[in-house]
Amino acid sequence: MRAQTCCFTGHRKIPRGLESKLARRLDATIEGLIKNGYRFFGAGGALGFDTMAAQSVIRLRERYPQIRLILVLPCVTQADRWPERDQETYRSIMEQADKVVYVSQEYTRSCMFARNRRLVDCSSACICYLTESTGGTAYTVDYARKNGLKVINLAP
């Protein structure tokens, strides 16, 4: 299953005006992986790129019914303090996911890193949106590279 699984990681903030171009590149990249046998797509449920990636898989599932969206979430309360609109999007994605996995029941200092490692450990490819050399996305991409994943960075 790992050979057929791709995970996503990326920044929470996507520059204005870049969203639609990035969404098109994301769709095309996922489609390319599907054509190469990928069936499972793991997203971490965060705002920004994670949300965009999950929505892309949901959209593409209409054309490719064999693909599955797996949400690997850091904790049950991840979205509790988000703005209501973002919480609605989050709930909608959860309802449409094929599987939801929680790394921790409650928030801990390490649950985000545990989520990121779980996504990488179960995948053979990682689609990312990485523009900075520090932070959670940089850590996850570095971890993916060290673990031999094919890393595809969609950042310009």
Per-residue model confidence as pLDDT tens for the chain (156 residues): 999 999 999 999 999 999 999 999 999 999 999 999 999 999 999 999 999 999 999 999 999 999 999 999 999 999 999 999 999 999 999 999 999 999 999 999 999 999 999 999 999 999 999 999 999 999 999 999 999 999 999 998
- The verdict on domain 2-153 having CATH code 3.30.450.40 is no
CA separation for the pair 78, 64 (Å, rounded): 29
pLDDT of residue 23: 97
pLDDT of residue 116: 97
pTM for the complete prediction?
A: 0.97
pLDDT of residue 156: 80
Question: What distances in angstroms separate CA 138 from CA 17, 57, 116, 129, one per listed residue?
Answer: 23, 23, 11, 10
Domain boundaries, the chain: 2-153
Q: Spell 115-141 as b/e; 16+ CB within 10 A means b.
A: bbbbbbebbbbbbbbbeeeeebbbebb
